[in-house]
Amino acid sequence: MVLQREVAERLANEAVKADRQQQIVELGGLKLLLPLTKSEDNEVQRLAAHALANLSVSTDNQIKLARQGGVEMLITLLPNKNVHVQRQAAKALANLGVNVENKITIAELGGIPPLVNLIESSEENVQIEAVAALANLAVNDENEVSIGESGALPLIVQCGRSSNVELLSQASRALRNLSVDAANKEIIYDCGGYELLQELSESRHERIAAQARRALVNLGKGNRK
């Protein structure tokens, strides 16, 4: 266990450096990290997930990680009882979900339901990463529908009432991406999302206000059908 921790910690620290991210993968770093996500030691799992989250910032690594089984392993970490493991796994999936093909892969491998479950976490840092991941996955028509059907929208609207600026930012972005589908529009209206977005559109934080305004445009500026 000690050796596993040392390996995972070193890779997590090195993966923070942009110039090392691709190099670590090219030198076989994923072959070391991915098995560590199955460790019985939560700290090893956390460090491994943290390293994968850092490595997945690289667009090239996003593809390689998915092709080497990274998506499956990260999804298995989402229900972990350790909130720090949950956070890093969700963060890594949020990064992987930027890639067009990975959006489909994550959904097909069952990543949406456990991410939705994490929105109800008592830890805001976990909520932030889970909502961010769903926001990225929602930039896909089928995923947008699936997320809406999963019961995520009322939970995301609730996150939009937080005092945490980053959670507000991710919630407003998620609502923007999820407000294109007709059925989702109805859900957003029914759970008070329209009124919330009106409030957020006047936020002093421009990135929150901008996303809220775009979501309102998607909703039709109140012209409910």
Q: What is the CATH number of the domain that holds 224?
A: 1.25.10.10
Do 109 and 75 contact (CB within 8 A), yes or no? yes
Task: Give the pLDDT confidence of 84-134 residue by residue, as tens digits.
Answer: 999 999 999 999 999 999 999 999 999 999 999 999 999 999 999 999 999
Q: Indicate the number of domains in the chain.
A: 2
Which residue do the tokens 């039709």 mark? 220
Tell whether 103 and 168 lie within a shared domain: no
Give burial (CB, 10 Å; 0-12/13-18/19+) of 186. middle
Give burial (CB, 10 Å; 0-12/13-18/19+) of 182. exposed
Tell whether 106 and 151 lie within a shared domain: no
Residue 15 to residue 29: CA distance in whole angstroms: 10
pLDDT at 35: 87
Residue 127 to residue 106: CA distance in whole angstroms: 18
3-class secondary structure, 62: helix
Residue 78 to residue 213: CA distance in whole angstroms: 31
Domain range spanning residue 69?
A: 1-110
What would the mean pLDDT of 55-61 be, rounded to a whole number?
89
pTM metric for this prediction:
0.92
Answer whether residue 160 is part of any domain: yes
CA-to-CA separations, 143 to 10, 58, 112, 149, in angstroms, rounded: 35, 23, 8, 10
- 92, 110, 128 — which closes off a domain? 110
Answer whether residue 26 is part of any domain: yes
First vs last C-alpha separation in the chain? 59
Tell me the pLDDT band of 1, cut-offs 50, 70 and 90.
low
Tell whether 17 and 93 lie within a shared domain: yes
Task: Give the pLDDT confidence of 147-177 residue by residue, as tens digits.
Answer: 999 999 999 999 999 999 999 999 999 999 9
Tell whether 83 and 169 lie within a shared domain: no
Tell whether 73 and 177 lie within a shared domain: no
pLDDT exceeds 70 at position 225: no
Answer whether residue 55 is part of any domain: yes
Name the nearest CA neighbour of 54 among 3, 114, 94: 94
Tell whether 157 and 102 lie within a shared domain: no
Tell whether 86 and 153 lie within a shared domain: no
Answer whether residue 157 is part of any domain: yes
Answer whether residue 28 is part of any domain: yes
Tell whether 94 and 190 lie within a shared domain: no
Task: Give the pLDDT confidence of 97-109 residue by residue, as tens digits.
Answer: 999 999 999 999 9
Tell whether 84 and 32 lie within a shared domain: yes
Nearest 10 degrees: Cα torsion 17, 20, 22, 28:
-130
3-class secondary structure, 170: helix
Answer whether residue 177 is part of any domain: yes
Residue 55 to residue 201: CA distance in whole angstroms: 34
- 84, 110, 136 — which closes off a domain? 110
Tell whether 27 and 94 lie within a shared domain: yes
For 20, the token pair is 């090392």
pLDDT exceeds 70 at position 224: no
